[in-house]
Amino acid sequence: MDIATVIGLALGAGLMLLGVVTGGLALTDLIDIPSVMITFGGAAAATIISFPWTSTIGVGAVTKKAFQNPPSDLPGLITTLVSFSEKARREGLLALEDDINELPEEFLKKGIQLVVDGTDPELVRNIMETEIGNTATRHAYGRSWWDAYAGFAPGFGMLGTLVGLVGMLKNLGGGDASAIGQGMATALITTLYGSLAQNLFAAPIVRKLTRRSEDELVVKQVMVEGTLSIQSGDNPRIVKEKLASFLTPAERTALKDDGD
């Protein structure tokens, strides 16, 4: 589980509640069922309209990725690619065929298999980079549901506020100042809900999913460069230095320690 997502949501909700309590309000003052229906329900309805039904059905699986922390061992991957480079230079590319099934990543398996089969290097790059492009497009489409929701939520919050103001103005003739104040407070709650839905959940989820996608694409790009370096017969030390450019300073240190 990604602890940052959980902590962020809990911290945001906790500070909101603390601000409400210390501001002299009761939690019940911010609970209004019609506002919930207009803001959250309206934004969800508009988002559902914007996408095929299959996208709405699959949004749960997409959202789940924001709460997961997929394992990523770039230094370990680079070490594997360097070892493949050493073996290919020593025994030839065909010697790698026995190691393909041991690879956990299907994308890398495909790349190494293409190399072993003697596929032209330019074609290998085109095939692998086309798959990377398709993966990026698929990820963008997956997170676009929440991106749309984040855009609709404030608008429906404002719509709910307008509905509340209409009701308040309708009762102005009664001359009850307290009723007018209560009506104004209720009307503004929907604006609060819209902002909360956008800024505490939907928009952060989109950003987290974007980061997940970027991390995965970096891993795949390392696989592409490593595969092509193996095919071209580059010196393993050169392969290691080339792929290390994708790492953070801390990861480069870990890679150097592994090499030692």
| Per-residue pLDDT reduced to its tens digit, 94-124 | 988 888 888 888 999 999 999 999 899 999 9
- pLDDT given for residue 134 in this prediction: 95
DSSP state of 51: S
- pLDDT given for residue 49 in this prediction: 96
Residue with tokens 């230094």: 75
Higher pLDDT, 32 or 185: 32
Given pLDDT bands bounded at 50, 70 and 90, which one contains residue 258?
Answer: low
CA distances from 45 to 63, 99, 157, 163, 191 (A): 18, 50, 13, 18, 17
Given pLDDT bands bounded at 50, 70 and 90, which one contains residue 29?
Answer: confident
Higher pLDDT, 40 or 256: 40
Identify the three-state secondary structure at position 237: helix
| Per-residue pLDDT reduced to its tens digit, 190-212 | 899 999 999 999 999 999 999 99
Can you tell me the distance from the alpha carbon of 48 to that of 148, in angstroms, rounded to the nearest whole number?
Answer: 9
Residues 6 or more apart in contact with residue 133 via CB below 8 angstroms: none
Can you tell me the distance from the alpha carbon of 92 to that of 156, in angstroms, rounded to the nearest whole number?
Answer: 63
| Per-residue pLDDT reduced to its tens digit, 117-158 | 989 999 999 999 999 999 999 999 999 999 999 999 999 999
Can you tell me the distance from the alpha carbon of 75 to that of 66, in angstroms, rounded to the nearest whole number?
Answer: 23
pTM comes to 0.85
Given pLDDT bands bounded at 50, 70 and 90, which one contains residue 173?
Answer: low
| Per-residue pLDDT reduced to its tens digit, 46-80 | 999 999 999 999 999 999 999 988 877 888 889 89
Residues 6 or more apart in contact with residue 93 via CB below 8 angstroms: 115, 116, 118, 230, 231
Structure tokens at 231: 């095919």
Residues 6 or more apart in contact with residue 164 via CB below 8 angstroms: 35, 183, 184, 186, 187, 188, 189, 190
Can you tell me the distance from the alpha carbon of 151 to that of 76, in angstroms, rounded to the nearest whole number?
Answer: 40
- If you average pLDDT over every residue of the chain, what do you get? 88
Higher pLDDT, 88 or 23: 88
| Per-residue pLDDT reduced to its tens digit, 204-255 | 999 999 999 999 999 999 999 999 999 988 898 999 889 988 888 877 777 7
- Checking 160-167 for CB contacts under 8 A at 24+ apart, the result is 160/34, 160/35, 160/38, 160/39, 160/42, 160/187, 160/189, 160/190, 160/191, 160/193, 160/194, 161/187, 161/188, 161/190, 161/191, 162/187, 163/38, 163/187, 163/190, 164/35, 164/188, 164/189, 164/190
How many angstroms separate the first and last alpha carbons of the chain?
A: 32
Q: Are 152 and 46 in contact (CB under 8 A)?
A: yes
Question: In the chain, how many H helices and how many E strands?
Answer: 13, 0
How big is the chain, counted in residues?
260
- pLDDT given for residue 175 in this prediction: 58
Q: What is the CA radius of gyration of the chain?
A: 27
- pLDDT given for residue 255 in this prediction: 72
| Per-residue pLDDT reduced to its tens digit, 160-170 | 888 888 877 77
- pLDDT given for residue 226 in this prediction: 93
